[in-house]
């Protein structure tokens, strides 16, 4: 009888392996759809669609949207209009499982306060931040019940028609001072603004195995925590720099000089990178299937100071750096970072 059961188990093994392979391919397909079917085509489509409407006689639609755009122009810096049902679509979980991205809670975030989460590193596209905080793909709604996350991005991302509405449905808002203060000054507690602190400058440092952060002189987010009285929360994503391979761009190289010029002129640093293909793992623009572990640290309480002094900002900034370093050192071994590797701040 035992031999028969063993034989049956062995006979089903190829079927199980096929099912696992199909599931893996399906999640790969979801990644392809998200990256190529939504993000990049949508950016291009939203940029050129007004011209299509204008020159195909559909100007009335363009005029109606222009009227809506003018009426609604302040929405991205006034909290947007997030939709929990939209952020909870199953496709977001599939996207998170593609890498996979996992969200790790170290302590609770009480709902009687507001929070400013500082996310590191930026990586190429900030995939971990998107999966963890703009969607429920990693279970943030369940892990932090009552906390409403708003992921901040550059104001230019809200200049394209349709795309701006989709971003706001995901809870994404402007990264401007006015936008952040609108969220964190709310009398309704339990709100959390998520800022990817390093921005375009840090994207140029997103190389595999590196943990270089643009943070030493970045103090604007610290000031906002003090002005609003929001608790400051360090967040580190182990693996964010592993999901793409960026072309070498050492400081002083021709490529780096061009990228820095682009960042200064247009606010976009234009990193040159590749990932994997759909049917092969060697080269393409699909993200590599590398785990991203987003670890949320303990909040640093702040006192609300409408006009903080430079000394008060520096003091909190130093306290934040120490907390971020502690978070990194405490968790790095669990996520494959060697003991002699430490954060580099510039």
**Residue 293 pLDDT greater than 90, yes or no:** yes
In a domain, 31, yes or no: no
- Top pLDDT among 11 and 100 is at 100
**Residue 96 pLDDT greater than 70, yes or no:** yes
Residue 227 is predicted with a pLDDT of 97
Average pLDDT for residues 265-272, to the nearest whole number? 85
Burial group, residue 333, by CB count within 10 angstroms (0-12, 13-18, 19+): exposed
In a domain, 284, yes or no: yes
Residue 54 is predicted with a pLDDT of 75
For the chain, the residue count is: 346
Which CATH number fits the domain that encloses residue 298?
3.40.1130
Q: Whole-angstrom Cα distance, residue 184 to residue 178? A: 10
Say if residues 139 and 104 touch (Cβ distance below 8 Å).
Answer: no
Q: What domain range is 291 assigned to?
A: 74-345
- Top pLDDT among 143 and 41 is at 143
In a domain, 135, yes or no: yes
In a domain, 3, yes or no: no
In a domain, 40, yes or no: no
In a domain, 113, yes or no: yes
- Top pLDDT among 293 and 187 is at 293
In a domain, 28, yes or no: no
In a domain, 158, yes or no: yes
Domains: count for the chain:
1
- Top pLDDT among 202 and 11 is at 202
Average pLDDT for residues 29-33, to the nearest whole number? 66
* pLDDT tens track for 99-151: 999 999 999 999 999 999 999 999 998 999 999 999 999 999 999 999 999 99
Where does the pLDDT of residue 160 fall: very low under 50, low under 70, confident under 90, or very high at 90 and above?
A: confident
């Amino acid at each position: 009888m035992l031999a028969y059961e063993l034989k049956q188990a062995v006979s089903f093994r190829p079927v199980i392996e096929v099912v696992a392979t199909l599931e893996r391919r399906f999640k790969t397909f979801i990644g392809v759809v998200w990256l190529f079917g939504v993000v990049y085509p949508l950016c291009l489509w939203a940029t050129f669609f007004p011209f299509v409407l204008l020159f195909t006689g559909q100007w009335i639609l363009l005029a109606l949207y222009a009227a809506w755009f003018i009426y609604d122009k302040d929405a991205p810096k006034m909290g947007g209009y997030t939709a929990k049902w939209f952020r909870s679509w199953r496709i977001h979980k599939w996207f998170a499982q593609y890498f996979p991205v996992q969200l790790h809670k170290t302590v609770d975030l009480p709902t009687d306060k507001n929070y400013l989460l500082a996310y590191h590193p930026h990586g190429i596209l900030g995939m971990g931040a998107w999966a963890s905080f703009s969607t429920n793909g990693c279970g943030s709604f369940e892990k932090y019940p009552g906390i409403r996350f708003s992921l901040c991005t550059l104001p230019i991302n809200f200049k394209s028609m349709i795309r701006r509405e989709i971003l706001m449905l995901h809870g994404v808002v402007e990264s401007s001072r006015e936008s952040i203060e609108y969220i964190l000054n709310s009398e309704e507690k339990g709100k959390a603004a998520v800022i990817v602190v390093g921005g375009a400058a840090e994207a140029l440092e997103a190389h595999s195995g590196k943990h270089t952060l643009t943070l030493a002189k970045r103090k604007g987010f610290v000031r906002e925590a003090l002005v609003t009285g929001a608790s400051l929360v360090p967040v580190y994503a182990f693996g964010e720099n592993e999901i793409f391979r960026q072309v070498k761009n050492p400081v002083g190289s021709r490529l780096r000089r061009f990228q820095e010029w682009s960042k200064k002129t247009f606010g976009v640093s234009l990193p040159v990178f590749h990932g994997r293909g759909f049917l092969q793992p060697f080269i393409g623009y699909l993200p590599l299937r590398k785990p991203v572990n987003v670890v949320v640290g303990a909040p640093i309480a702040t006192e609300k100071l409408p006009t903080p002094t430079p000394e008060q900002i520096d003091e909190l900034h130093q306290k934040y750096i120490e907390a971020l370093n502690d978070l990194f050192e405490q968790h790095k071994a669990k996520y494959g970072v060697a003991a002699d590797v430490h954060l580099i701040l510039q």
